[in-house]
Structure 1
């Protein structure tokens, strides 16, 4: 009986502390387009400076993922779109910023954000 209870407790602890595999911050395509094209948005490329220098979205600032925690206070009160190369670092930055009360959107990749910007430019012509 003792082993059974220990097993249940251990299983419960594992379930409660396991990493989340489901994204809880889904943003619809319409919302991300609206956020990217908003005049008051801050676009944040979370890649390393060398990657940022090779190309990024228009008006994006570079705050590498490793430094995002140090910039929370400057990002609070702003609408922020985070992005990177493949979306994995952006997901991590998104979680950190959300947990700290920042209004943040997942732009996924810099190429995605740039394409949204270019689409708006084409629509305005």
Structure 2
């Protein structure tokens, strides 16, 4: 009898640990094309000034990754798209911004954001 009882407890604990609770937070999927092309988006290239000067997306401002924490207050209340060369620095900037309450989106690379802008321009013609 004791063995059956302990077996039931062990089985119940396995079943309960295998169950996942429903995630009650809603995840909103945002189309980055819509954000990049919205008139209220602030596009931020987080690369160093020398890289930014070599080419970037249209209307992008340069705030290097190291300067992002110093610009949090100025970015609050804005819809921000961050990008860099390959997305690594953009991911870091995104994390900093979101942790500080900034509505931020990952544009990945400046070439990606520029291509989205050019795609939008081509469809308007």
For this structure pair, what is the TM-score category when the shorter chain's length is used for normalisation?
0.7 to 0.9
TM-score, length basis structure 2? 0.77
Partner SS state of residue 107, structure 1: strand
Residue 34 of structure 2 corresponds to which residue in structure 1?
A: 34
The runs of 5 or more residues in structure 1 that have no matched partner are 1-25
Per-residue deviation, residues 43-66 of structure 1 (Å, max 9, x unmatched): 000000000000000000000000
Q: Deviations over 1:5-60 (max 9, x none)?
A: xxxxxxxxxxxxxxxxxxxxx985x6100000000000000000000000000000
Q: Counterparts of 1:109 and 1:27 in 2: how far apart (Å)?
A: 22
1:37-76 alignment runs, 5 A limit: 37-76=37-76
> Is the 8 Å Cα contact of residues 27 and 105 (structure 1) preserved in structure 2?
no
- 1:101 is paired with a residue of what secondary structure? coil
Root mean square deviation of aligned Cα: 1.4
Q: Which 4+ runs in 1 deviate beyond 6 A? A: none
Which residue of structure 1 aligns with residue 92 of structure 2? 92
Larger radius of gyration, structure 1 or 2? 2
TM-score where L is the length of structure 1: 0.77
